[in-house]
Structure 1
Amino acid sequence: MNSDSKDKTILLVNTGPIKKRFTVQKLKKMGFKVIALNREKNWAQPYVDHWIIADLKNYSESIEQVRLFLTNNPDVHLDGAITFWEESVLLTSKIIDSFHLIGVPFRIARQVRNKYLFREFCQSHGIPAPRHIFIRKRDNLKEVKEKLNYPVVIKPVYGSSSAFVIRTENEQELFEAYDYIQKNISSYPDAAEWDDLKTLVEEYIDGDEVDIDLLLQNGKIKFYSISDNFNKSKGSFFVDSGQAIPSSLPIKDQNDLINMTEEILEKLGIYNGCLHVEAKSTKHGPVPLEVNIRMGGDYVYSYNKTAWNIDLIEYAALIAVGQFVKINRSEVPHRYIIGWDLHPNESGVLAELSNIDYLKKNRNIEEVEIYKTIGDSILVPPEGFESLGWLTVGGENILDAQDNLNAILKLISYKVVKFDPESALGKTERKNRFSPAVLNKNLFIRTAKIEAMKKAGISDLRRLKIGILANIYENPADPIAKYLSQIPLGLENAFKGLGYQVSVINLNNFSEVVDSLKNGDIDIIFNLGEKLYDDISYRSQIAALLDCFQVPYTGSDFSTISRSVDKIYFKKVLSYHEIPTPDWDYAYDLDDEIDDELQYPLIVKPSGVGHCFGISQSSVVTNKEELDREIKRIILEMKRPALIEEYIDGDEYEVYILGNEEENLRILPLSRTIFNGQDKNLWHIYTYESRWLDDKVNENFIRQMPPKNISKRLESLITEIALDTYNILGCKDYGKVDIKVDQKGNPYVIELNPSPWLYDFGTQGIVAAAKLAGIGFNELLEEIIRLSTDRYGHRFKAKNT
């Protein structure tokens, strides 16, 4: 614990996403009492002493909430404020002004945050700046050819992370770039926090780009470090590629950069803070690009700490609370460091990722940060501005560090399967190099609306256009088809009654599905689909289809559905994670040998189907002859692999779960089926007949919701096992886990249904369980929508540097 920070209270403005965990961890480790001003409580809960919840885009509301907190907590004295998130630097400056704290005043912060105002400031104070034009409307672009020389760069005046920064070589490219920005900028998640979405055009500056990290106190530079940027050009876009520290520029050029920075800060009137300055060293001298009044993102903290043993978070916080700091930087670095960003060549889905844990053990690796997991999308320009992550590599000198980097990059193994909606449908086109495929553009629009809804109230949520995707049959005789047809109509009526715009899309009419998804006017799909081409084994492909169209949808994704439908794969996952499940084996071919250690009676089930299809009383076998008969029936007649598992004699429990991951999971009341009421000669299982056809058999089952006369220990055990199954399989929004309990009270997972039917079956089903928990049908539907929009809002949030 740092004695200078003990008993000090610091306000952290905006925790940022979970990748910023290290910042608040460090503040807490230093001994600060941390107050977080944020739009919601989140992952930072273990490190935060007090929360102040406010709309961070509303400066007045945020300041008033801070003031109210201090009034209600007179024992709390605010010693300083800090942010590590670019979109919150202006709010932080407002707070500094309002509470007379140490930092950069708002009038100055606004001048440097707005790129146009910063260019104007430099020009009026004799500081080199490129010629530039503020673009208020499209017609202003015509002035460029008269006042500027190509190539030019167009960028948002309040942009961050190099998003929408584009180099153009001529007027046609400039107009195309402008149109691309205007169509997509409002859907960029961080843009919601920008004060203005207008753009700036300026002449391109040719030179060596550098970053300058500074610690400034009372107008004196206490520490600085210059790092060289690698080529940021990705075609017409500028993307962070990597940096090397310390700089390899000639000492004179480095001194010129520091002198220029000192002049800028003095003329601006910035006297305290941790700053991240971007500049270029040209043949005509240094030229500033940006002054960021917060610590640099990604690996900036890491490589400064490793190279110079300087902790930017620690000193930034001490400066913010007014503690005098004395910093002695060594003449030479402790280690030469290269930070490297991991960018795929094209947007797509991360399909493979390996060797990361092995790399972390490499003595030349300083740090590795991976943002994505397998199955996640990675959007690079023009579709988005994301990366897989980054790493930092060390060496005894810069050449050694470069050699080590090259060696390590050869060891990294990842594969991104690119989005290819054109080949999928043959319906998209690219008008120019800035135009993402139509489907990708629609992703931006949908994501922006969902992110906005996530932060809004229920009335705004109801502005979403919902598409209900389902299998609908005309006059169906099959009982399953009847339910599949009735359920979407119930949802349609409920959503219309709540004020939503809603449409029903019939999966049995595939051309209708394609047209509805391609048009892009649906914000989110309520996915009730179970069959594709009237085959339930293709159930997971429905989610895959929605992923290809990049349409957000409720419920689990392709991976989870496929693993639950494939009963054999499901059992493999359970066994790997040591989730209790009946001992089992499987057969794809009649020649496959079955484990002779399995104990009869056994039950034989077809894999790749649901709703007890293919299961009868004859499915439970007591000898080898019966076993062979059932395997033959499933493999030859049903054309399915056979799952063989030990029969569990006991009651069956259905566990319904709402939520995503651990922070918002809810277990609804359990449902229990007791089979003792049926014919004693019958096995205690659900068959297709007893589930759907024979009401008399159904009437003999005893169903309880909630279960009666079971111990708390058993109830807790069932719940915990169900939660583990739900989380391990990656269920999303809602789901059901089926568990059988033997005569000794041992629970075993039987199946997982990632999207149970939203139908009121009385003493069974998620609707009945929710009703018992005080959640009405309409409320349940909206809760599923809310869970889904929250999830998509998090998933597509752009990475901030």
Structure 2
Amino acid sequence: MTQKIKTILIVNTGYDHKRFIFKQLRRRKDLRIIVLNKEINWAAQYVDEWIIADTFSHRLAVEAVVKYSQKNRIDGVLTFWEDDVLLTSKIVDELHLIGIPHQIAFNLRNKFKMREFCESIGVAAPKHTLVNSEDELKKAAKDFKFPVVIKPTLGSMSSYVVKAQNSDEVFQIWRYIRQNINVQTESSLHDGIQLLMEEFIEGDEVDVDLLIQNGKTKFWSITDNLSTQEPYFIESGMICPSNLPDSQQKELLSIAENVLERAGVRDGCIHFEAKYSKSGPVPIEVNLRMGGDEVYWLPKRVWHVDMIDYAVKIALGEYFPSIVKPLEPFSYMASTSFVSERSAILSSYSVPESWPKELRVDQYDFYKEVGDSVLTPPDGFEYLGWMTTMGDNPIDASENLEEAKKLVQFEVIPFSNLSVIGKTKRSSRFKSAKVSQQSIKGEARLIKLRASSKKKQRQLNIGIACNKAATGGDSVESEIGAVGTTIEQTLNEIGYKTTYVDFNNLSEAISVLQTQPIDLVFNVGERINGSSLLEPHIASILDAMQIPYTGSNPFTLGFCIDKIRVKKLLTYHQIPTAKWDYMYEMTDKLRTDFVYPLIVKPGNSDDSIGINQESVVTNEKELKRQLEYMLHELKRPALIEEYLPGDEYAVSILGNENDDLRVLPLDRTIYDKFSGDRWHILTFEDKYGEDINLDNDPTLIVERPPKNVSSKLIKLISEISLDTFLILGAHDYGRVDVKLDQSGNPHVLELNPNPSINRGRCVPEVAEIDGLSYPDFLEKIISLAINRYRDERPYAHLQPVIK
């Protein structure tokens, strides 16, 4: 009999430390795994099909799932990611799948509503109130007995959960959370930020993990939480099974079942957090998904129950009987969380190649690498990792854990003198931490880059700053969009981790840069929100966020867009360039020694925008026509040059002034086959025309390298191009365009500090002639950038080059 294949939709993969989940899912041979995620990522080897949508936008994500379901069967939906519990519940509603309806999920996940609900059914709840304004806070501070806890109503984990001992701290903490929490990067706050203040409950904290099917509890397991580090409730470890008396465990289970049943939860894998106080059990939080990371391994080892397997069964509607636990657990488990005492940079880390068998280390996961920043409160809420050990009894498991912890050795180092960390003064420990958080990450990136050798270069996470081509976009958008995709694919193929950063969506790009562990950005972005004039600001954003990047700085990128200023600077440095002038208004006076024909160009654009065959003029009437077109229609300043009829050379340069600076083999464009009435220029249509363009125009002759050209001319063109590259302060790579006059003399047209480096384009093609394959070429640029940041102090690349 053929086994029926069932399809499960997983909402959000989470980070790659969730790999164990997908490995376990993949063990089911009858399971087809579909993932709803913002992008294809590390989980690709476990996933059968992707639904690509931003899970932060619930409307768009649900629409994408519905569209997929119209042609494909979805049997169940599940998430293991707290931030997407509510999105998953919306999908449950929309597709009528087994799970927790959205209204129920929202009421339980919202801590204020959950406490209100508990009180309404006679279940103990901490005294609580919303504090969304300072007036509400003042009133609450008078009504509550201290200590109290302030937290977001929809936050995840223990992020921004802070204990206050007195009224002064209440105001400091409230302002700290309001100033630092970010709805753009905390996707769990999709439905907004509300702050809750509640009384602090003394007592033993536990996790109750449950499997509920058809309204019946099929399995439960209780885990003790060890004391947290206050005031931020940083988790320190767990013990499973619980050491609480059976009577207290029964009360905890009863209250969890009561809350869930009365709320309407009929099916789900639930992680229920509670405290056993002197007055009895008190619910703290309801997580409508499996417990994260090490929590999964505790019931798996202690009771031989795999919560992933059963969560899938519940979602698919596969009945299973109640799980009868043995009188004694199969093993006892202890876990610990590795934390740094302060925000810093991980400077060293070592663990044994294999753990001593007698310590019975079961699972171990360390999130950070040397050079990574570690943000601890108030700067952030990051853990270094965790470990679990087994034992024959609770004491045995705990002792094994303590001995195993000694074998995990790591150190953190203070920040450099140029860092602001440690130099800013806080009037309290809760003051705004945004500046220091960004500084820590920026300093960490620099340290990681400086520590990276050629061998370790491929361990870096490379961001690709680029512009995603819009569906149905024109050829320019397609060309610009293809560059980032090609670089991403190539770097992935040779072992890099990459993150795509699309600056056509600025807010999303900044969110990605804030949240992803990017070490260096490969900057090939040419637009922000569709505008090429904003190209330099991509580099500015990266500098402001202290993210190292390839290529030129914002000053050079911006300066080179302004062709008029470039002309002035090159003229000052006596770089040969065609006779020129400029106009901002029709009343401006032009130089009188011009010799026709002339060419009229936009003074502040690139990529031949605004240039066509009519740009070349042969008399005053044509000149006036073209100037009016430039100044009034395009609304750009006009750059006027004497027309150069000769061959055109693209001079590709790789390197920096003090690092392997070289001119690659030249690219020569010959116009001899142009018809008699066609000017020898490359227009916008020549580059991006739908029918005839650079790639297929039979009248355009391109030589790489040039043939039958004197070595003296090649040398001269190379040298004036190098001077131009250095004068304008370009970094890592660039292309200088040079054109010959009727006598064969070279004149610099412009420097493009951000030329296309897509496969098949000029710069990578001539690099291949020089012995660099396309992957080698990209790695060379990365290496050049690393060396720049390694050898210079921060922001040195922003200082003007004085020549």
**So what's the TM-score if we normalise by structure 1?**
0.60
Match for 1:29: what amino acid? Answer: R
Q: Distance in 1 between matches of 2:248 and 2:507?
A: 54
Provide the residue aligned with 1:116 in structure 2: 112
Q: Distance in 2 between matches of 1:721 and 1:455?
A: 20
The runs of 5 or more residues in structure 2 that have no matched partner are: 446-464, 469-499, 512-522, 555-655, 668-694, 696-702, 712-717, 725-737, 739-745, 747-758, 789-803
- The secondary structure found in structure 2 opposite 1:411 is coil
- The secondary structure found in structure 2 opposite 1:36 is strand
Work out which of the residue numbers 91, 103, 107 in structure 2 matches 1:95.
91
Provide the residue aligned with 1:38 in structure 2: 37
Provide the residue aligned with 1:15 in structure 2: 13
Provide the residue aligned with 2:482 in structure 1: none
Is the CA contact (8 Å cut-off) linking 2:77 and 2:92 kept in structure 1? yes
Q: Distance in 2 between matches of 1:504 and 1:151?
A: 46
Structure 1 residues 675 and 307: alpha-carbon distance in aligned structure 2, compared to 1, 3 A threshold: farther
Work out which of the residue numbers 510, 534, 539 in structure 2 matches 1:499.
534
- The secondary structure found in structure 2 opposite 1:238 is coil
Provide the residue aligned with 1:301 in structure 2: 296
What is the deviation of 1:77? 2.2
Match for 2:328: what amino acid? Answer: V
Is 2:781 the partner of 1:753? Answer: no
Match for 1:349: what amino acid? Answer: I
Provide the residue aligned with 2:637 in structure 1: none
Provide the residue aligned with 2:504 in structure 1: 458
Work out which of the residue numbers 333, 340, 343 in structure 2 matches 1:344.
340
Structure 1 residues 185 and 462: alpha-carbon distance in aligned structure 2, compared to 1, 3 A threshold: closer
CA offsets, 1:247-287, max 9 Å, x none?
11111111111111111112111111100000001121111
Is the CA contact (8 Å cut-off) linking 1:130 and 1:203 kept in structure 2? yes
Provide the residue aligned with 2:195 in structure 1: 199
Q: Distance in 1 between matches of 2:760 and 2:118?
A: 71
Work out which of the residue numbers 373, 380, 391 in structure 2 matches 1:377.
373
**1:57-456 → structure 2 map (5 Å cutoff):** 57-71=56-70, 73=71, 76-186=72-182, 189-191=185-187, 193-233=189-229, 235-326=230-321, 327-359=323-355, 364-419=360-415, 428-435=424-431, 439-442=435-438
Q: Distance in 2 between matches of 1:4 and 1:313?
A: 24
Match for 1:136: what amino acid? Answer: N
Cα RMSD (Å): 4.9
Q: Distance in 1 between matches of 2:319 and 2:761?
A: 65
Is the CA contact (8 Å cut-off) linking 2:349 and 2:409 kept in structure 1? yes
What is the deviation of 1:246? 0.6
- Percent of pairs with identical residues: 36
The runs of 5 or more residues in structure 1 that have no matched partner are: 466-487, 506-512, 531-606, 614-650, 655-668, 680-686, 700-704, 727-734, 738-751, 758-801
Structure 1 residues 115 and 141: alpha-carbon distance in aligned structure 2, compared to 1, 3 A threshold: same
Match for 1:16: what amino acid? Answer: G
CA offsets, 1:460-499, max 9 Å, x none?
369979xxxxxxxxxxxxxxxxxxxxxx9x9999998523
Q: Distance in 1 between matches of 2:173 and 2:138?
A: 14
Structure 1 residues 395 and 688: alpha-carbon distance in aligned structure 2, compared to 1, 3 A threshold: farther
Is the CA contact (8 Å cut-off) linking 1:348 and 1:417 kept in structure 2? yes
Considering only CA atoms, is the larger Rg found in Structure 1 or Structure 2? Answer: 2
Q: Distance in 1 between matches of 2:324 and 2:505?
A: 56
Q: Distance in 1 between matches of 2:387 and 2:64?
A: 39
What is the deviation of 1:238? 0.9
Match for 1:610: what amino acid? Answer: D
Is the CA contact (8 Å cut-off) linking 2:98 and 2:267 kept in structure 1? yes
Match for 2:236: what amino acid? Answer: S
**1:766-777 → structure 2 map (5 Å cutoff):** none
- The secondary structure found in structure 1 opposite 2:274 is strand
Is the CA contact (8 Å cut-off) linking 1:421 and 1:437 kept in structure 2? no
**1:719-730 → structure 2 map (5 Å cutoff):** 719=773, 722=776, 726=779
Match for 1:265: what amino acid? Answer: L
- The secondary structure found in structure 2 opposite 1:358 is coil
CA offsets, 1:744-794, max 9 Å, x none?
xxxxxxxx523799xxxxxxxxxxxxxxxxxxxxxxxxxxxxxxxxxxxxx
What is the deviation of 1:418? 3.9
Match for 1:736: what amino acid? Answer: I
What is the deviation of 1:371? 1.2
What is the deviation of 1:325? 1.3
- The secondary structure found in structure 2 opposite 1:317 is helix
Structure 1 residues 130 and 461: alpha-carbon distance in aligned structure 2, compared to 1, 3 A threshold: closer
Q: Distance in 2 between matches of 1:367 and 1:207?
A: 29
Structure 1 residues 400 and 139: alpha-carbon distance in aligned structure 2, compared to 1, 3 A threshold: same
What is the deviation of 1:236? 1.4
Provide the residue aligned with 1:610 in structure 2: 659
Is the CA contact (8 Å cut-off) linking 1:378 and 1:386 kept in structure 2? yes
Structure 1 residues 495 and 415: alpha-carbon distance in aligned structure 2, compared to 1, 3 A threshold: farther
CA offsets, 1:529-569, max 9 Å, x none?
79xxxxxxxxxxxxxxxxxxxxxxxxxxxxxxxxxxxxxxx
What is the deviation of 1:690? 12
What is the deviation of 1:181? 0.4
- The secondary structure found in structure 2 opposite 1:221 is strand
- The secondary structure found in structure 2 opposite 1:178 is helix
Q: Distance in 1 between matches of 2:396 and 2:412?
A: 30
CA offsets, 1:712-757, max 9 Å, x none?
xx9999638728x93xxxxxxxx438xxxxxxxxxxxxxx523799
Is the CA contact (8 Å cut-off) linking 2:85 and 2:105 kept in structure 1? yes
- The secondary structure found in structure 2 opposite 1:372 is coil
Is the CA contact (8 Å cut-off) linking 1:215 and 1:275 kept in structure 2? yes
**1:664-703 → structure 2 map (5 Å cutoff):** none
Provide the residue aligned with 2:603 in structure 1: none
CA offsets, 1:279-319, max 9 Å, x none?
00112111110111100101011222112111100000011
Is the CA contact (8 Å cut-off) linking 1:464 and 1:501 kept in structure 2? no
CA offsets, 1:131-175, max 9 Å, x none?
001112122111223322110000000001100000001111000
Is the CA contact (8 Å cut-off) linking 1:421 and 1:428 kept in structure 2? no
